[in-house]
Chains A and B, each alone.
Chain A
Amino acid sequence: MQSGDHRRRLAVGLAIYDRPALAGLGIKRFDILEINLMTDLCKKLLGSTVALLIGTSLSLAQGRISEADILNSLQSTGQAARAANLNLDALRRDVEKRIQVEGTENAASPPPVLQALSTLPNLTVEIQFDFDSDWIRPASWETIGVIADALHHPLLLSNAFAVVGHTDAKGSRDYNFKLSQRRADAVREMLISTFRIPPGRLVALGLGEEQLRDPSNPDAEVNRRVQLLNIGPR
């Protein structure tokens, strides 16, 4: 058994909504996760030792990325505002149905709703879980803490996030779907209960192996990830 199996990683996407104003600072709402905002967020995140991948479609090896990379990857963030209407419950039901249909795994073109998700500005992080468990290993608590710091910054305060979890394709689709949901829930729960993010700002969604990052290598580690997706203001 490979050591990676003991640390199955999950991907979680967050969707960002609105929150009441911080009247004193005049912070009302943020339409989208704009470049300035992401730059600031990235500065915060990159200040940690945690390897992060940031950007709508950025796909870099784990490690530090330059501000230019970030800006390039975030040039079109208009998707976020439109995503505010994204119905995550419906999405979850769609994925559940799809899993029951043989031949839809590793499909060349994922269903439109998943395609829509993949266009959102997002942050991909690596979270380590115990094998086959939703217990987040202490090694990854800092990553979640740093995310929480960013979520507490005024630039993001009016937004809410969806935490989306992804697994690789080892094991059954249904099992992965459920495991990823439990893990997404665990990340959301930690952000809420440990790091004081208001529950209304966070939703959790497990996508199992339905949105592989590297479809040509379905069992690869790179597929296990957590995404914070910006689905726009609410």
Chain B
Amino acid sequence: MRRGFAIACILGASILVASPTVAQTIGYGEAIRGLTAACGADIEKYCKGVKPGGGAISICLAKNNISTGCAATFEAAFVLLAKRAAAQEAAPQICEADAKRLCANFREGRARILRCLIRNDNTRKVSNKCNQAITDAGWR
């Protein structure tokens, strides 16, 4: 349980960190790593056979007396994952002007323009919003 709290704290703290160079989101792999550490035992105990998706696991956990660490981790992870998904959705639009300005010579496809935008020599020239969007999208 203590471990679960620690993870929840880390997840929660990362919401508060607002530096453009730090992702204010997490990826699925990272989220699941935290969740299985905090909730794996509860899931095996109470939700065996319940298939993830559509909130099935959270509904199952909510019905049972799960550890507070698990509950907190779950909640924090959802916030951060939703934010990442939103960043991935929004990044192309947010970065459009930067891409036109800095990466006009790059052909489309194979993420060439993304790779242009995240090049070291371009990071300072790219707008803060675009930099943040790319970071939050987990594409760095």
Residues of A within 8 A of B (CB): 21-31, 34, 36-37, 44, 47-49, 130, 133, 135-139, 141-146, 148-149, 152-155, 158, 186, 189-190, 192-196
Contact = CB atoms under 8 A, between A and B. Distances in A.
A47 B30 CA distance: 10
Interface stretch (B6-14, B87-95, B119-127): B87-95
A142 B88 CA distance: 20
Given A24-B91, A145-B27, A154-B114, A189 B106 contact: no
A21 B54 CA distance: 27
A203 B51 CA distance: 18
Given A138-B40, A138-B44, A194-B53, A145 B29 contact: yes
Contacts of A26: 99, 103, 106-109, 112-113
A141 B53 contact: no
Nearest to A156: B111
B52 A27 contact: no
A48 B35 CA distance: 14
A152 B138 contact: yes
A139 B36 contact: yes
Given A24-B93, A26-B99, A135-B51, A148 B28 contact: yes
Interface of B (DSSP majority class): helix
Given A23-B96, A25-B99, 12 more contacts: A21-B108, A23-B92, A24-B92, A26-B99, A27-B110, A30-B111, A31-B109, A136-B52, A138-B44, A141-B52, A189-B51, A194-B52
B129 to A, nearest CB: 12
Contacts of A143: 29
B28 A193 contact: no
Chain B, interface size category, equals 35 or more
B2 interface: no
A153 B140 CA distance: 10
B60 to A, nearest CB: 12
Contacts of A194: 28, 52-53
A145 B28 contact: yes
Contacts of B103: 26
Given A24-B96, A135-B49, A189-B51, A142 B33 contact: yes
B49 to A, nearest CB: 5
Interface in B33-53: 33, 35-36, 39-40, 43-44, 48-49, 51-53
B32 to A, nearest CB: 4
A29 B109 CA distance: 5
